[in-house]
């Protein structure tokens, strides 16, 4: 007779914050977490899109507007979330890349805007979450959404790629520093993914060229990233920390 074993991928009873959760990969992750029994708090800068996403996700979702480029707003959002009860998982998904330019064409203002959200925002979200786990003496799981562009270079996306490579080292450093306090830190590095962010690029003459570099022969859908996020957020990965997992259809193999 087989014993009934608990599902290690279940998120039943767990609460997760998903930054940048109003659309794209963040929305897909929030939806997948709810389907696995979790509760989610989604954040984004745009209030209207955020509230619309929360309505579509249903009763197990709350919305909290947050500017990921502002450490003070991050601290406020995190405090508000923990006042509702302990948070088990942080998915650091919010990020921007508003331009495709050669390195010499990038302005200081453009450089700073990408670093501010992608690198600084991810860093302080992780720190604010971890500090509350420490204070509550609770374990936590941080899932950083980086990019395959942080592993291999992307033409005219050097600043974006640099921030994502920074997230990879940040992930490993935090994982090492916090392992003795039961906060695990891992990262997912998606390849080219079909979202509102990439629609224009994929529809241009570059679309077929980019797709030809993906061994699986297609771009990712946001849902292709959710399995890795569930793995890192759940007990299935309880002995895993400091890992960077490409979800890229094999693109970084080339």
Q: Which of 231, 205, 207, 232 is nearest to 219 (CA)?
A: 207
**Six token digits for residue 190:** 């998606």
Residue 198 burial (CB < 10 Å; 0-12/13-18/19+)?
middle
Whether 123 sits among the annotated catalytic residues: the reply is no
Q: What is the 3-state secondary structure (H, E, C) of the chain?
A: CCCCCCCCCCCCCCEEEEECCCCHHHHHHHHHHHHCCCEEEEEECCHHHHHHHHHHHCCCEEEEECCCCCHHHHHHHHHHHHHCCCCCEEEECCCCCCCCCCHHHCCHHHHHHHHHHHHHHHHHHHHHHHHHHHHHCCCEEEEEECCHHHCCCCCCCHHHHHHHHHHHHHHHHHHHHHHHHCEEEEEEEECCECCCCCHHHHHCCHHHHHHHCCCCCCCECHHHHHHHHHHHHCHHHCCCCCCEEEECCCHHHC
Q: Point out the catalytic residue in the list 27, 160, 231, 239.
A: 160
Q: Which residues are catalytic?
A: 160
């Amino acid at each position: 007779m087989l014993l009934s074993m608990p599902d290690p991928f279940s998120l039943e009873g767990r609460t997760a914050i998903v930054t940048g959760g109003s659309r794209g990969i963040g929305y897909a992750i929030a939806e997948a977490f709810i389907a696995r029994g979790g509760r989610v708090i989604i954040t984004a800068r745009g209030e209207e899109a955020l509230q619309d996403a929360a309505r579509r996700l249903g009763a197990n979702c709350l919305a909290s507007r947050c500017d990921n480029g502002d450490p003070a707003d991050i601290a406020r959002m995190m405090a508000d979330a923990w006042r509702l009860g302990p948070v088990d998982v942080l998915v650091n998904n919010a990020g921007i890349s508003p331009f495709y330019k050669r390195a010499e064409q990038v302005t200081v203002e453009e450089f700073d805007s990408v670093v501010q959200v992608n690198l600084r925002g991810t860093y302080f979200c992780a720190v604010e979450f971890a500090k509350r786990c420490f204070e509550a003496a609770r374990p936590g799981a941080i899932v950083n959404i980086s990019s395959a562009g942080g592993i291999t270079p992307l033409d005219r996306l050097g600043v974006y790629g640099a921030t994502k490579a920074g997230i990879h080292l940040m992930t490993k450093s935090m994982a090492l520093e916090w392992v003795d306090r039961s906060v695990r830190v891992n990262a997912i590095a998606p390849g080219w993914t079909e979202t509102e962010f990439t629609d224009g690029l994929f529809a241009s003459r570059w679309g077929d060229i980019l797709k030809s570099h993906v061994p699986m022969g297609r771009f990712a859908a946001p849902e292709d990233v959710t399995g890795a996020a569930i793995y890192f957020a759940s007990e299935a990965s309880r002995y895993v920390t400091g890992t960077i997992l490409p979800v890229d259809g094999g693109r970084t193999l080339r």
